[in-house]
Amino acid sequence: MSIDKFVSVIIPTYGRSLMLKRAISSVVNQKYTSFEIIVVDDNSPESDHRKRTEACILNFDDIIYIKHEKNFGGCVARNTGIKRAKGAFIAFLDDDDEWEKDFLEKQLKRFDKDNVGAVYCNFFLNKMNGEFTYSKKIEFENFKGNVYGKLLSGWCPASTSLFIIKKKCFEICGFFDEQLESFQDYDMWLRISKKFEFNYSDEYLIIKHEHLSDQISLNPITRKNGLNVLKSKFTNILDNSDMCIFQETAEIFEKRIIYSNVIVCRQKGEFANAFKNIVEFSGHSKSDIKSIFKLIFIFVFGYKPIKLFHQLNSKKIETINE
**What would the pLDDT profile of 283-306 be if each residue is shown by its tens digit?**
876 678 888 998 999 899 887 776
- One domain for residues 250 and 224: yes
Could you tell me if residue 95 is inside a domain?
yes
- Same domain, yes or no: 69 and 160: yes
Give the pLDDT mean for 81-94: 97
Determine, yes or no, domain membership for 112: yes
Give domain status of residue 316, yes or no.
no
* Integer Cα distance of 116 and 144 in angstroms: 9
The C-alpha atoms of residue 49 and residue 278 are separated, in whole angstroms, by: 38
Which structural domain range is residue 240 located in?
218-311
Residues 83-98: what's their mean pLDDT? 96
In a domain, 283, yes or no: yes
Tell me 146's DSSP state: S
- Residues ≥6 apart with Cβ < 8 Å to 262: 274, 277, 278, 281, 295, 298, 299
Helices (H), 119-200: 148-152, 167-173, 184-193
CATH number at residue 104: 3.90.550.10
129-133, 138-142, 167-171: range with lowest mean pLDDT: 129-133
Residues 156 and 237 placed together within one structural domain of the fold: no
- Whether 271 and 131 share a structural domain: no
In this predicted structure, the answer to whether residue 18 has a pLDDT above a threshold of 60 is: yes
In a domain, 30, yes or no: yes
Structural domain contains residue 125: yes
The per-residue pLDDT for 221 is: 84
pLDDT in tens, 190-233: 999 999 999 999 899 999 987 654 544 457 888 889 999 999 99
For the chain, the domain total comes to 2
Do 143 and 279 lie in one domain? The reply is no
List beta partners, residue 35.
7
Residue 45 falls inside a structural domain? yes
Please give the average per-residue pLDDT across 262-267, as a whole number: 88
Final residue belonging to a domain, choices 211, 232, 263: 211
Q: At what angle do helices 240-267 and 289-301 cross, to 10 degrees?
A: 20
